[in-house]
C-alpha cells in the first residue's frame, strides 16, 4: 500500500505539472492584447510596451514559464494586472466561500442522489425507474447556464420567491450563511447535475449487488428487507460513488464558474470569470492551478478511500 501511495503521489505531481504547462500555453496564446485589455484600447504604444516589460510579457514564453514556476515554488502566484493585489490573497479570501457553496451542493447531491439510486435499483425495470432515469439524464445533459436561467425566470421573475442574484458587499462566510435565501439557487444549480450522476452510479452499482450471492443468502436467512438494504446493499453500492465523487470535482468547479457569474456569488468562479474577460493571466493561472491540485488530491483520496472500503482492492495493491 505504501509503494502504491508513493506511485500515485508521483503521478499526481506529473498531472499537476502537465495541467500547468497546458494552461500556461493556452492562456498565453489567447487572442488579443493583455496590455490593451487592462489599460484600455486608447493606450499608447509606449504604455503598452512599458506594461509588457513590467510584467515580463515581452520575453519568450518558455522564459515566462520558468519564471512563473520558480515563483510558484516559493508560494508566489503573481499579482493581478487588474486588481493590483497578490493572487494568493485574492484566492484565500474567496476559497472559504467556495468551500461553503461546493460543500453544501455536494452534500445535497449525495443525500438526494444515493438514496434515489438505491430506490431505483430496488424497482429496476419498473415504470418509476424509467421515469426517474429519463429525468436524471435530461437534467444531466442540460447546460448549467440554461438551468440557472430557467430557475431565475420561474422562481424569481414569475413567482418572486427568491432574489435572482447574490447581494454585493458580502465578503465573509458568516454573511453568506446569514443571507441563506440567496444561496438556494446557486446550490440547487450545482447540485442538479451532481445528483443525476450520483444517482445513476449508485443505481448501477446497486443493481449489480442485488444479483450477488451474498444478497440472496442474507434474504434466504429471513433478514428484513430494510436491514438488507441498510447493512449490506448500501455500503457496497457506495464504492463507485466514492470514486466518482473525487473525479467529479472538476465538473463541479466548472459549474461553479457559470453559477457564480450568473448569481453574482463572490467566489473563485466569479473571480475567474472576470479575469477571463480582462485577460488577467495571473488570476487565470492561479485559480486553474488550485483547482487542478484540488482535483488531483480529490482523486487520490477517493482512490485511497476505495481501498479502505473494499479490502480486496487494498490487498491487491500491496
Domain of 271, CATH number, reads 1.10.3720.10
Distance CA 216, CA 264 (A): 52
* Per-residue pLDDT at 147 exceeds 80: yes
My answer on whether 129 and 181 are in the same domain is: yes
My answer on whether 118 and 215 are in the same domain is: yes
Which pLDDT band, with edges at 50, 70 and 90, does 184 fall under? confident
My answer on whether 144 and 279 are in the same domain is: yes
The answer to whether residue 57 is domain-embedded is yes
* Least confident stretch, 7-11, 85-89, 282-286, 302-306: 302-306
The 8-class DSSP code of residue 314 comes to H
The answer to whether residue 295 is domain-embedded is yes
My answer on whether 176 and 246 are in the same domain is: yes
Q: Give the total number of structural domains in the chain.
A: 2
Joined together, the cell numbers standing for residue 87 give 493572487
The answer to whether residue 87 is domain-embedded is no
- The pLDDT assigned to 169 comes to 67
Average pLDDT for 250-265: 80
* Least confident stretch, 124-138, 263-277, 287-301: 287-301
Structural domain harbouring 45: 2-73
- The pLDDT assigned to 179 comes to 76
* Per-residue pLDDT at 148 exceeds 70: yes
Please work out, in degrees rounded to the nearest 5, the angle formed at the alpha carbon of residue 300 by the alpha carbons of 111 and 104. 25
My answer on whether 108 and 35 are in the same domain is: no
- Strand-pair partners of 86: 79
Contact between 133 and 246 (Cβ < 8 Å): no
* Backbone torsions φ then ψ of 197, nearest 5 degrees: -65, -50
My answer on whether 69 and 131 are in the same domain is: no
Distance CA 19, CA 293 (A): 9
Sign of CA dihedral 44, 45, 49, 52: positive
* Backbone torsions φ then ψ of 176, nearest 5 degrees: -65, -45
- The pLDDT assigned to 77 comes to 87
Tell me the per-residue pLDDT of 205-223, one tens digit each, with 9 for 90 and over: 888 888 888 888 888 888 8
Which pLDDT band, with edges at 50, 70 and 90, does 56 fall under? confident
* Backbone torsions φ then ψ of 86, nearest 5 degrees: -60, 135
* Per-residue pLDDT at 307 exceeds 70: no
My answer on whether 205 and 105 are in the same domain is: yes
The answer to whether residue 253 is domain-embedded is yes
The answer to whether residue 262 is domain-embedded is yes
My answer on whether 65 and 110 are in the same domain is: no
Please work out, in degrees rounded to the nearest 5, the angle formed at the alpha carbon of residue 19 by the alpha carbons of 13 and 23. 150
My answer on whether 149 and 23 are in the same domain is: no
- The pLDDT assigned to 216 comes to 85
What does the DSSP assignment read for 15-32? HHHHHHHHHHHHHHT-SS
My answer on whether 156 and 305 are in the same domain is: yes
Average pLDDT for 103-132: 89
CA neighbor of 201 nearest in space, from 158, 236, 150: 236
My answer on whether 143 and 191 are in the same domain is: yes
Distance CA 162, CA 153 (A): 11
My answer on whether 21 and 145 are in the same domain is: no
* Per-residue pLDDT at 145 exceeds 50: yes
Amino acid at each position: 500500500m505504501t509503494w502504491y501511495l508513493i506511485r500515485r503521489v508521483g503521478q499526481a505531481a506529473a498531472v499537476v505539472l502537465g495541467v500547468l504547462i497546458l494552461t500556461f500555453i493556452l492562456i498565453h496564446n489567447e487572442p488579443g492584447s493583455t496590455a490593451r485589455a487592462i489599460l484600455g484600447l486608447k493606450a499608447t504604444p509606449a504604455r503598452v510596451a512599458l506594461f509588457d516589460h513590467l510584467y515580463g510579457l515581452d520575453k519568450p514564453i518558455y522564459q515566462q514559464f520558468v519564471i512563473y514556476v520558480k515563483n510558484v515554488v516559493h508560494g508566489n502566484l503573481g499579482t493581478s494586472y487588474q486588481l493590483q493585489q497578490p493572487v494568493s490573497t485574492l484566492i484565500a479570501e474567496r476559497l472559504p466561500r467556495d468551500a461553503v457553496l461546493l460543500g453544501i451542493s455536494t452534500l445535497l447531491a449525495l443525500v438526494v442522489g444515493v438514496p434515489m439510486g438505491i430506490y431505483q435499483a430496488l424497482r429496476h425495470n419498473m415504470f418509476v425507474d424509467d421515469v426517474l432515469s429519463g429525468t436524471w439524464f435530461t437534467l444531466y445533459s442540460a447546460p448549467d447556464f440554461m438551468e440557472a436561467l430557467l430557475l431565475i425566470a420561474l422562481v424569481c421573475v414569475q413567482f418572486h420567491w427568491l432574489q435572482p442574484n447574490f447581494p454585493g458587499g458580502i465578503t465573509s462566510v458568516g454573511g453568506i450563511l446569514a443571507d441563506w435565501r440567496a444561496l438556494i439557487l446557486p446550490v440547487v444549480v450545482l447540485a442538479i447535475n451532481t445528483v443525476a450522476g450520483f444517482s445513476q452510479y449508485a443505481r448501477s452499482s446497486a443493481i449489480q449487488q442485488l444479483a450477488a450471492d451474498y444478497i440472496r443468502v442474507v434474504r434466504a436467512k429471513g433478514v428484513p428487507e430494510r436491514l438488507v438494504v441498510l447493512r449490506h446493499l448500501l455500503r457496497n453500492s457506495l464504492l463507485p460513488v466514492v470514486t466518482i465523487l473525487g473525479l467529479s470535482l472538476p465538473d463541479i468547479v466548472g459549474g461553479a464558474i457559470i453559477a457564480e457569474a450568473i448569481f453574482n456569488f463572490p467566489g473563485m468562479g466569479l473571480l475567474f470569470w472576470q479575469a477571463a474577460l480582462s485577460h488577467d493571466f495571473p488570476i487565470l493561472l492561479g485559480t486553474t492551478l488550485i483547482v487542478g491540485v484540488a482535483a488531483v488530491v480529490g482523486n487520490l483520496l477517493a482512490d485511497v478511500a476505495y481501498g479502505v472500503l473494499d479490502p480486496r482492492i487494498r490487498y491487491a495493491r500491496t
